[in-house]
Amino acid sequence: MNAVEIEEAVSRLAEAPFDPEAFPFAFLEAFGNKPTTLKRLQSKSSSSNQSDLPGGVLQRNNIHLKVCPEGEVTATLTVLRDSPATARQKVKFILATDGKSFESENLADGETVACNYPDFHDHFGFFLALAGITTVKQIRENAFDIKATGRLNRLYIELLKDNPGWDKAERREELNHFMARLIFCFFAEDTNIFHSDGLFTATVQQMSDRDSSNTHEVLSEMFRAMSTLPKSREAAQIRNWANVFPYVNGGLFSGVVEVPRFSKIARSYLLHVGNLDWKKINPDIFGSMIQAVAEDEDRGALGMHYTSRPNILKVLNPLFLDDLRTQLAVAGDNARKLLNLRQRMAHIRVFDPACGSGNFLVIAYKEMRAIEVQINRRRGEDNLRTTIPLTNFRGIELRHFSAEIARLALVIAKFQCDVLYLGQQEARILFLPLERDNWITCGNALCLDWLSLFPPTGTGVKLHADDLFSTPLDQTEIDFETEGCETYICGNPPYVGDKKQSLSQKSDMKNVFETFTSRWKSFDYICGFVFKAALYISATDNSATAFVSTNSISQGMQVAQFWPLILYRAQIAFATLSFKWSNLAAKNAGVTCVVVGLSHRSRKEPSKIFDGDVVREVESISPYLTEGSPVYVAARQQPISDVSEMLLGNFAKDGGHLLLSNAEQRALDGHAARFVRPIFGAREFIQGVQRFCLWIKDDEVELANRSEEVRSRMRMVAEARAKSPKEATAAWSKNPHRFVEIRSPDYRNAILVPRVSSEERPYLPVGLLPPRSVVTEAFALYDAPLWNMALIASRIHLVWIATVCGKLETRYRYSNTLGWNTFPVPTLTEQNKADLTRCAEDVLLAREAHFPATIADMYDPERMDTEFPLVRAAHDRNDETLERIYIGRRFKNDTERLEKLFELYTRMIMKPALSIKPASSKTKGSNP
């Protein structure tokens, strides 16, 4: 269940008559518990309900709740808190109600809710953790935005049903515009902008027939009034009952937009939404959530997209807000300096090229207003109107509804700031009519010219087109109110990996990059935005940018191809290292993101690295977001350090006929059995799956063919290969006895490294295989000294691989050429090698001690410490030993590990590799 669905279920429960028997289970059901779970909890014979109180219901790890006699709610909450079962069963929430009042406590942080029973639905956000949704405090306390999203969604769907044809693109825009008008009216009627409280909804209720047949006409007339100047109203014959609405316009009500027809249900939904208290709207939360309403494919994720204010500030603070605040502190009470700062702020432009519902712009605006009000207070000008033009906060957004909402969100944010700083009356005077429109451009940012849309100097905006044939965009040209001085480009543009981009996104990328590089095809979509921002910076004197991005932008092969294009034009002014960017999706682990800030290359100030709570000033930041000058790690054919060679494993390409399950290999005749070897790929190694293969050397074919089983398998291999569309594979049907790709030399033992591994695991799963094992579809070191395994099993190696090789979705992607051959290892003494060998042996022994646990079991982060402490301890010793070799002590964190590695790498590529072993030839065709 998503947050909107939960809210609806909770509201239904609160509205229904109170049923003391059913309440605990209905409450749990509203938070997504399945009927079978509830049945078990209800069943007297099941031990599912762990409560030790009569009538109590306890769900382990979640909640202990009890319905009590009237007037005993507070006492019952105390009993629940003190109950031994509450502690024993690790309960998160306790809840008591008598159907009149309602009390609950979150035992983890002591937060409480106490309200009348019918109002408990307003606190549903408090309990979202019950549904596995971890959310920020702001959402928990601001249930309104989720509520409004749910109600508007119902209305939107109902209107689509009632108005066939409105689901087509052209009509959708009208519907979106209509929804934006409605939201504005709901807000305006609850904030006295419409003079009397609830005027809009009340007028619909009174003037439209109950059968809903004329609802659209009533709405039309009200909208007509709002777009007609008072002096023209008589001539326009505005009906008396609509004449009470003020002139709004500002694009929102201009032009004729047809109002959709309403069914009775739609009308009642409209009234229901209107009766919410829209004063509580929070434009930076609401906008993010409401966007999904208009997108059929996104509606499933309704209410889940919310970018928290702290995360947005991770971009805006270091980009420019911190500096403004510092200047405010420096100015103290100096009236001149304060005035200069205020004037500077009036000229600052903020631009989000993928603004969605405008949340970055809204927060930037609100924060700047907060600084401005400080200035005004210190200058004794408390009642001064703002000099920060709202239209300096500009955006581009592809989706029409989001662009509408972005504009509305900014208008609402301005009103709320005016109320806060100037008072309700002044805010109302300033609010209407809305003066400007369309400073949020609805279009494709990768096809538009940012410099002409958002010129850094002057006030004029050039006319622009979104393609070479000058298709005009539906937008008015709005000049800036103030001469520009600084432009800050910000946001969280879409991340779309190269494989997932649509044809039109591919064409956008081509459009952006084609003249600069031929490598763009492997770039993430967000690279288009970063590159356009870098072009903007390099073409202007006083601009900077910061975007949130997935951390993949600073990882993997992409780095060496993408970042030279950026760093030629700009420098990294700051970087915020990996942090989780979560939304409201249940069990949402969140994407791991970074923030990268770019500035003009001529900027002299030190750069900053934000790592959790620690901020470091550094001379420069590398594209891997480590301290240091630009360095690019490129794939190598041989190791840079004095380590063994790592080869890609063998590939059978046999239609599966050379491979045998355990049962199959046991059933083989004696002739065939001598050719059987264990085979290991990632699955066999990590999951402990036993598999075997036939491994027949060229000079053993005749002998092997004495077995009927082998002959039959050879036939099947030959047939399978012959059918291959690849000529090279088909040619191998003549040699069905062997794997097509054989890279293993003659060897006694092999160390295996899977090609991908879950990012959840604290270490890369590396291991020594049983003798004679064949490695397939993984990497292998053959007859390598065991200390090589200690290197691969270390934390420092994992950190290097994660950064240099990047990830495949949520899995580390290993590469011998890019990850192992580039891994910088200090020169190892014999003693070092002996110590590391012992560490590797200890890891192997620890795993054996936990037999038959698999690698997947032992390296499960949730279980490793508690169930497999020997393995954890062996890895700790390995890390300790290796890290001492690097720096004489343990590293403090991964940042330090990475920085040491890059420092060493840079030194090593400057001079010939320390002592590179002669490479053994890549034995493609040879058989061991």
Ligand X SMILES: C[S@@+](CC[C@H](N)C(=O)[O-])C[C@H]1O[C@@H](n2cnc3c(N)ncnc32)[C@H](O)[C@@H]1O
674 DSSP 8-state letter: T
* CA atoms of 168 and 160, how far apart (whole Å): 10
Residues 721/736, Cβ–Cβ less than 8 Å: yes
Locate the DSSP E strands across 255-389. Answer: 348-352
d(CA 311, CA 136): 11
In the complex with ligand X, the residue whose CB is nearer, 552 or 815, is 552
Residue pair 677/695 in contact by the 8 Å Cβ criterion = yes
- At closest approach, how far in Å is the CB of 359 from ligand X? 5
Element (H, E) at 578: strand 570-581
Nearer to ligand X, 98 or 508 (CB): 508
- Give the long-range contacts of residues 608-612, CB within 8 A, separation 24 or more: 608/318, 608/573, 608/574, 608/575, 609/574, 609/575, 609/577, 609/895, 610/314, 610/318, 610/574, 610/575, 610/576, 610/577, 611/576, 611/577, 611/893, 611/895, 612/577, 612/579
**Token duo for residue 661:** 């399950």
Tokens of 819: 């990850």
Minimum gap (Å) between residue 358 Cβ and ligand X = 8
Name the minimum Å distance from CB 405 to ligand X: 10
712-728 burial code (b ≥16 CB/10 A, e <16): ebbeebbebbeebeeee
DSSP conformational letter for 396: E
Q: How does strand 750-754 pair with strand 486-491?
A: unpaired
| 3-class DSSP assignment, residue 255 | coil
Minimum CB–partner distance for residue 372 and ligand X (Å): 23
Q: Which of 328/355 has CB closer to ligand X?
A: 355
- Cβ at position 407, least distance to ligand X in Å: 14
* 409/676 with CB nearer ligand X: 409
* Least distance between ligand X and beta carbon 403 (Å): 9
Smallest separation, CB 453 to ligand X (Å): 12
How many residues does the structure list for the chain? 928
Instruction: Tell me the closest approach of the beta carbon of residue 497 to ligand X, in angstroms.
Output: 14
Q: How far is the CB of 269 from ligand X (least distance, A)?
A: 25
Residue closer to ligand X (CB basis): 312 or 790? 312
How many angstroms separate the CA atoms of 469 and 750, rounded?
Answer: 62
Report the C-alpha gap between 726 and 748 in whole angstroms.
33
Residue nearest to ligand X (CB): 356
| Residue nearer to ligand X on the CB measure, 292 or 341 | 292
CB nearer ligand X, residue 411 or residue 696: 411
Cβ 598 to ligand X, closest distance in Å? Answer: 18
- Which residue lies nearer to ligand X by CB, 2 or 444? 444
Can you tell me the distance from the alpha carbon of 312 to that of 363, in angstroms, rounded to the nearest whole number?
Answer: 8
Q: Which is nearer to ligand X, 274 or 395 (CB)?
A: 395
Q: Closest CB to ligand X among 73 and 512?
A: 512
Distance CA 375, CA 907 (A): 50
CB 561 within 8 Å of CB 506: no
Nearer to ligand X, 219 or 406 (CB): 406
Token duo for residue 383 = 């009642």
Q: Residue 371 Cβ, how far from ligand X at the closest point, in Å? A: 22
3-class secondary structure, 400: helix
Shortest separation between residue 148's beta carbon and ligand X, angstroms: 16
> Which parts of this chain interact with ligand X (CB under 6 A)?
288, 305, 307, 354-357, 359-360, 396-399, 402, 444-446, 491-494, 508
Question: How many angstroms separate the Cα of 734 from the Cα of each of 624, 698, 717, 720?
Answer: 48, 12, 10, 11
Burial 521-531 (b: 16+ CB within 10 A, else e): eebbbbbbbbb
Please give the helix or strand (H or E) that residue 883 lies within, else none.
helix 869-887
Q: Which residue has the tokens 């200047």?
A: 327
The nearer residue to ligand X, 476 or 504, going by C-beta atoms, is 504
* Residues pairing with 116 in the sheet: 101
Coil, strand, or helix at residue 753? strand
Instruction: Identify the bridge partners of residue 704 per DSSP, sorted by sequence position.
Output: none
Q: Quickly list DSSP for 223-239.
A: HHHHTS-GGGTTTTT--
> What is the distance between the alpha carbons of residues 306 and 181, in angstroms, rounded to a whole number?
22
| Nearest-approach distance from CB 526 to ligand X, in angstroms | 9
Query: C-beta of 237: minimal distance to ligand X in Å?
Result: 41
Closer residue to ligand X (CB): 399 or 872 = 399
Could you tell me the smallest distance in angstroms from the CB atom of residue 341 to ligand X? 27
* Residue 439 or 685 having the CB closest to ligand X: 439
Q: Which residues contact 447 (CB under 8 A, 6 or more apart)?
A: 466, 467, 508, 511
Of residues 287 and 754, the one with the C-beta less far from ligand X: 287
The amino acid present at 565, given as its one-letter code, is: L
The smaller minimum CB distance to ligand X, of residues 550 and 622, is found at 550
Instruction: Give, in order, the Cα–Cα distances in Å from 825 to each of 309, 628, 640, 898.
Output: 42, 19, 8, 12
Quick check: 137 and 282 in contact, CB under 8 A?
Answer: no
Nearest alpha-carbon partner for 638 in 917, 891, 228, 287: 917
Q: How far apart are CA 139 and CA 927, in angstroms?
A: 63
Question: Which H/E stretch holds residue 347?
Answer: none
Closest to ligand X by CB, 159 or 294: 294
Q: Report the nearest approach of ligand X to the CB of residue 508 (Å).
A: 6
- Amino acid letter, 369: R
Distance between CA 692 and CA 315 in Å, rounded? 53
Distance CA 640, CA 660 (A): 38
Question: Residue 447 CB, nearest distance to ligand X (Å)?
Answer: 7
- At 630, list the tokens: 């630009």
Residue 508 or 835 having the CB closest to ligand X? 508
With vertex at residue 239, the alpha carbon angle to CA 236 and CA 241, rounded to the nearest 5 degrees, is 145
Closest distance of CB 503 from ligand X, Å: 13
